[in-house]
Amino acid sequence: MLFLNHALVVAGLIGRALSAVEWSSEQWDAIIVGAGPAGIIVASRLAEAGLKTLLLEGGGVSYGVTGGDLNARRPNWLDGTNLTRVDVPGLYSSIFGDGRHLICQGVVNAYGGCTIGGSSAINAGLFFEPPASDWDLYFPEGWKSKDMDAAIQRLYASQPSTNLTSQNGVRYLQSGYDAARKWLVDGLGYKDVDINAQADDKTKVFGHPIYDYSNGQRGGPVTTYLQTALQHEKFHLESSTQVLRVEREGNLATGVIAMVNGSETFVALTPTGRVIASGGALQSPGLLMHSGIGDPATLTSLQAAGKLSRNLTSNDWINSTSIGAGLFDNPNTFIELQGPTVEAYSYSYDNPLASDKALYMDSRSGPYATAGQTSVFWTTITHDDNSITGLQGTIGPAGYADFTTNNTITLNIYGTSGLLSAGRVVLDNNFIPGASGDVYYSNARDAHDISTFIYDIFQALPAAGLTPMNIPQTATREQIETYITTWSSYARGEVNHWSSSCRIGACVDTDTRVVGMSNLHVVDASIVAPLTVNPQFGVMAAAEKASERILGLMGLSVAGVSSSAEVNV
């Protein structure tokens, strides 16, 4: 029974196949660029409302349910199943080593998923509801927590999640959890909470991570919203199709230019249609720039290189330095923790332990039913001006880099919401988008806050029998600050939680419409302010909200929501 639904959906995908000539010569009510979590949700909601909806994805197949040659995308031990490496949570870390076709190549200067599902097809699947205070403090009117409630409820109703991934009900890899609990709960008085049930409490809390998995397999929007969308007659997904730019006449988008069978091809909107850029926080600002919307200096270079539409003159440019501004990623530090009771666990792509393989294959149980993070915790620092900095720790199953003994695990420390550092999306000499150099620690307060957090929690490590291996337990706060801000294998690495590069109120309006345009939207991590938690839940909730706002502009509503409810603040 486990796979019945998958088999049906593969059939559905094949059933909806249209030739390139067919789909690219039709007119669409909505063209969504990018099948990451946000793009999938918006496309699904728009199709459900009856709009003729085209979802274009530059990457190719990912989960087994997306079809294609499954054997090319999995280790031998999964032969005979409907699974690829994407579906098995325990193969998550193997994608870092060799992500092949799943990883973005030549389109963005950062690590990420360019495939059906975007980074949700390659991420750990941690699924944390942001506290209400994130919406209330960092989002504009119309996007406060009270405005987000219905969107979040729709997300919960559509996307299952769990903190117990193994289908036999047993928690595996718990030695790291037990040591961390002793350290933080017993030693430092952190509360042991059910993370999403108590989402608003992010001060001194600890618990089991929540994952967006189902049935011991990777879940996420490809397995939920996308499958619903594929049931709609007027929905079409086309993968392996990169969009180069949006075509427009003045402030009206008329369609997109996509690479179809190796040629730049115009795909048209209906006269009342809309383009939604959902390419992620690095690629969506890049797409806008290629569409003549952005910093004039960048547009001048793009035009000189022949990258802008020939239909655009400089009089048509929409000059906005808000495109790509405010780019955020969590500054992170890996801390290797060793302890006598800790038992590290290493996942294997080709050769899992026979017993663990059997557990997974027989009952979707055991260590391979999780990406491996065993525990998570947060706290906050409140400043004299009442501004708040969020801080997070996530504990993985094994050591890293120079510290990989059998009793070492890795703690990943992030700064989260309320940080003051931000960079911007910049194009390189080949006009590929990436991050500027000032994303992390460009404001000194952030390093002070994060080093204070590490210093404070370090004080209770000895009592829990844990020893930090790459930073001395007795380090001063100042020494920790120097460590975390100096590049090494453990510090300043990109976490790839990119967000906030097209903020609501500056780059897009509260209907997610690009400022200066009438029918071009951005809906993805770009419009989400830095959150207290890992971004995917917030990105998906924002996409639910954006669907409501976009449909509201068209006099339509999300199924089950009356249109008066979303006419607008």
Ligand X SMILES: Cc1cc2nc3c(=O)[nH]c(=O)nc-3n(C[C@H](O)[C@H](O)[C@H](O)COP(=O)(O)OP(=O)(O)OC[C@H]3O[C@@H](n4cnc5c(N)ncnc54)[C@H](O)[C@@H]3O)c2cc1C
Q: Does 54 bind ligand X (CB under 6 A)?
A: no
Q: Which of 32, 38, 398, 556 binds ligand X (CB under 6 A)?
A: 38
Joined tokens for residue 516: 């200066």
Q: Cβ distance 112 to 119 under 8 Å?
A: yes
Binding track, positions 183-222, relative to ligand X; x by CB under 6 A? ----------------------------------------
Q: Which of 33, 260, 342, 466 binds ligand X (CB under 6 A)?
A: 33
Q: Does 327 bind ligand X (CB under 6 A)?
A: no
Q: Which of residues 255-294 bind ligand X (CB under 6 A)?
A: 278-281, 283, 287
CB-nearer residue toward ligand X: 121 or 447: 121
Our CA angle for 558, 241, 108, nearest 5°, is: 95
Q: Which of residues 98-127 bind ligand X (CB under 6 A)?
A: 111-115, 118-120, 122-126
CB-nearer residue toward ligand X: 126 or 484: 126
Which helix (DSSP H) or strand (DSSP E) does residue 452 occupy? helix 444-458
Q: Does 501 bind ligand X (CB under 6 A)?
A: no
Can you tell me whether residue 358 is helix, strand or coil?
A: helix
- Half-sphere exposure for 39 (CA within 13 Å, toward CB): 34
Q: Does 372 bind ligand X (CB under 6 A)?
A: no
CA distance 39 to 31: 10
Residue closest to 130 by CA, chosen among 502, 547, 497, 518: 497
Q: Report in angstroms how near the CB of residue 321 gets to ligand X at its nearest.
A: 21
CB-nearer residue toward ligand X: 48 or 57: 57
CB-nearer residue toward ligand X: 327 or 461: 327
Q: Report in angstroms how near the CB of residue 474 gets to ligand X at its nearest.
A: 32
CB-nearer residue toward ligand X: 373 or 451: 373
Q: Which of residues 230-249 bind ligand X (CB under 6 A)?
A: 242-243
Buried b (16+ CB within 10 A) or exposed e, 431-450: ebbbbeeebbbeeebbbbbb
Q: Cβ distance 379 to 191 under 8 Å?
A: no
Q: Report in angstroms how near the CB of residue 481 gets to ligand X at its nearest.
A: 26
* Contact stretch for ligand X (CB under 6 A) within 1-9, 11-19, 36-44, 324-332: 36-44
Buried b (16+ CB within 10 A) or exposed e, 345-373: bebebeebeeebbebbbeebbbbbbbbbb
CB-nearer residue toward ligand X: 56 or 337: 56
Determine the longest span between alpha carbons in the chain, in angstroms: 68
CB-nearer residue toward ligand X: 36 or 468: 36
CA distance 26 to 15: 18
CB-nearer residue toward ligand X: 63 or 458: 63
The amino acid at residue 45 is R
Q: Which of 37, 67, 339, 468 binds ligand X (CB under 6 A)?
A: 37
- As a dihedral over the C-alpha atoms of residue 554, residue 558, residue 561, residue 567, rounded to 10 degrees, the angle is -30
Binding track, positions 523-562, relative to ligand X; x by CB under 6 A? -xx--------xxxx-x-----------------------
CB-nearer residue toward ligand X: 97 or 189: 97
Residue closest to 350 by CA, chosen among 77, 79, 49: 77
Q: Which of 29, 48, 57, 481 binds ligand X (CB under 6 A)?
A: 57
* Contact stretch for ligand X (CB under 6 A) within 27-35, 229-237, 341-349, 360-368: 27-35
Q: Report in angstroms how near the CB of residue 176 gets to ligand X at its nearest.
A: 17
Binding track, positions 461-500, relative to ligand X; x by CB under 6 A? -----------------------------------xx---
CA distance 62 to 222: 9
- As a dihedral over the C-alpha atoms of residue 135, residue 141, residue 143, residue 147, rounded to 10 degrees, the angle is 100
Q: Report in angstroms how near the CB of residue 287 gets to ligand X at its nearest.
A: 5
CA distance 319 to 313: 12
Instruction: Give Cβ neighbours of residue 54 (< 8 Å, ≥ 6 apart).
Output: 23, 26, 28, 30, 31, 32, 236, 238, 267
Q: Does 129 bind ligand X (CB under 6 A)?
A: no
Which helix (DSSP H) or strand (DSSP E) does residue 260 occupy? strand 252-260
How many residues form the binding site for ligand X (CB under 6 A)?
41
Q: Cβ distance 393 to 188 under 8 Å?
A: no
Q: Report in angstroms how near the CB of residue 58 gets to ligand X at its nearest.
A: 3
* Contact stretch for ligand X (CB under 6 A) within 19-27, 37-45, 141-149, 416-424: 37-45
CA distance 331 to 447: 9
Q: Does 393 bind ligand X (CB under 6 A)?
A: no
Contacts with ligand X, residue ranges (CB under 6 A): 33-39, 56-59, 111-115, 118-120, 122-126, 242-243, 278-281, 283, 287, 496-497, 524-525, 534-537, 539
